[in-house]
Amino acid sequence: MRSTKIVATIGPASREPAILEEMIRAGVDVCRLNFAHGNLEEHRAMIGVIRAAAERCGREVAVLQDVPGPKLRLGAIAGGMTELTTGSALVLTEEEVEGDETRLAVAFKGIDELLGIGDVAYLADGAIRLRVKEVRPGEVETEVEVGGHVVSRQGMNLPNVTVSLPAVSEADLEMIRAGVEMGVDAIALSFVRRKEDLDPVRKVLRDLGSDIPLIAKIEKPQAAANAEEVIEAADGLMVARGDLGIELPVEQVPLVQKKLLTVAGRKARPAITATHMLESMVSSTRPTRAEVTDVANAIFDGTDAVMLSQETAIGKHPVKAVEMMAAIAEATERELPYGRWLVERVETRDDDEATIAYGAVGAIYSLGLKALVCPTYSGRTARMISARRPEAPVLALSPRVQVVRRCNLYWGVVPRLRDEAERTTEDLMAASVDEAVEAGLAAWGDKIGITAGLPMGRVGGTNPFKVHTIA
């Protein structure tokens, strides 16, 4: 059973119900919707398609809302996409024009003040390089030094250029309000620089009475430098290596990735590793050996999830990309340092729940447990156990479908919906055994561990841990 979770970006290549259903059956745990593209009604409709496809597959799949954040972006492009040819001339303008291969709008007033002759601009996560040849009022003329495909609303990076943009715009907050109303399961906030950047979003969520997890996307050098406080303030993180590799010297990206995943593990926060993981599968049916190694190394580094971007959004083989990601994860997980992670990975805290999670995972090795079962109201118990990287599966049972879905971000956790009916310890234990057997995680004669908080329906308070032999 695969423990590493798979996040797939939904786009033109994957929005058809039949393709989406195939992807879910192939192993997608989380569907990412990039709110930098499309409008709110399109996203609302897509969430309905995702929910219906997941139901046909007999699964709950999480929806991750990715909010654009403070980034320079292109405007609309005719047909949604165009190809820039190496050696061609391209004008970047602040006029609201429909872009093509010769002229692209930039959603920022003052592009002529940001760039000078000889400066470099990058598009498509650094895949496309432009060199400024001339600056005119309201526009700059560039030469395409490295060409490729660009799409509407795609980001633009200007290395060594400081752009004063708000951490979270009102447009971002409106998207978040809409996402909560649509029923998204987690929110990824782009271009976080410091922990205070999360505060406006937290306030909106509090005002809406929502406990949706907030994922901080680490894309800026400032965020990497402030990793400890940013990760502590967030509910999880995404290592977004595309922008990191432009904002930082590219040779530093692997070291920053390892640091971020180490900090996330220490603080028991789920982590997603993203960008260019199986990039060649946008057009090829097979990844390169380097890409396979990259995915495996991210899992060895301790990532909870690996993410597909263009591979499933606009690629020719979205289902094959998911199947390959799942196969790499399953092969890698056989060789992970589970024992060392149990002892070293999570920082020691004066915390009952974290201590019981440590003991529960340790019991897998000392007692040969086949599974851990954790009824949970908020998902915290499952997250704390997951952070210790148990070699046996973790069955998370919750009466809240939102919690079941968000547990799809937690490494090694198998989430299931169970209506809250058990009020005594005996009832809870019996129900946990039944669910473990029904899920195929344990059988007659097997030992399982059960841990939960009582009374059920209250956040926090995990206290009992029981070893049970199924008979």
3-state secondary structure of 286: coil
User: Do 315 and 343 reside in the same domain of the chain?
Assistant: no
Q: For the sheet containing 413-417, what is the strand order?
A: 413-417, 394-398, 371-375, 447-453, 462-469
Q: Answer for the pair 217, 252: CB distance below 8 angstroms, yes or no.
A: no
Catalytic choice (51, 59, 73, 370): 73
Domain membership of residue 171 (yes or no) is yes
Query: pLDDT per residue over 390-407, tens digit each?
Result: 999 999 999 999 999 999
User: Do 361 and 273 reside in the same domain of the chain?
Assistant: no
pTM of this structure: 0.88
Mean pLDDT of the chain: 91
Domain membership of residue 440 (yes or no) is yes
Domain membership of residue 56 (yes or no) is yes
- pLDDT surpasses 70 at 131: yes
Calpha distance 90→74 (Å, rounded): 13
Q: Is the dihedral of CA 290, 65, 171, 95 positive or negative?
A: positive
**Tokens 């329906």 belong to residue:** 457
Listed residues 131, 157, 183: the one ending a domain: 157
- pLDDT surpasses 90 at 188: yes
Instruction: Please tell me the predicted confidence (pLDDT) of residue 273.
Output: 98
Q: Mark whether 258 is an active-site residue.
A: no
Q: For the sheet containing 120-123, what is the strand order?
A: 103-105, 89-93, 139-146, 128-136, 120-123, 156-157
Instruction: Please tell me the predicted confidence (pLDDT) of residue 287.
Output: 97
Query: pLDDT per residue over 223-275, tens digit each?
Result: 999 999 999 999 999 999 988 888 888 899 999 999 999 999 999 999 999 99
Q: Answer for the pair 57, 94: CB distance below 8 angstroms, yes or no.
A: no
Catalytic choice (217, 345, 389, 406): 217
CATH number at residue 120: 2.40.33.10
Domain membership of residue 162 (yes or no) is no
Q: Mark whether 32 is an active-site residue.
A: yes
Which candidate, 227, 228, 153, 240, places its Cα nearest to that of 188?
Answer: 240
Calpha distance 194→264 (Å, rounded): 15
Q: CB within 8 A of 469, min separation 6: which ones?
A: 445, 446, 447
Catalytic choice (93, 275, 332, 451): 275
Instruction: Please tell me the predicted confidence (pLDDT) of residue 127.
Output: 85
**Which residue segment(s) compose the domain that 382 sits in?**
339-469
Band (pLDDT 50/70/90 cuts) for residue 294 is very high
Provide the number of structural domains found in the chain.
3
Calpha distance 150→83 (Å, rounded): 6
Listed residues 88, 123, 157: the one ending a domain: 157
3-state secondary structure of 141: strand
Q: Mark whether 275 is an active-site residue.
A: yes
Instruction: Please tell me the predicted confidence (pLDDT) of residue 348.
Output: 74
- Both tokens of residue 362? 């340790």
User: Do 65 and 89 reside in the same domain of the chain?
Assistant: no
Query: pLDDT per residue over 53-64, tens digit each?
Result: 999 999 999 999
Catalytic choice (5, 32, 405, 406): 32
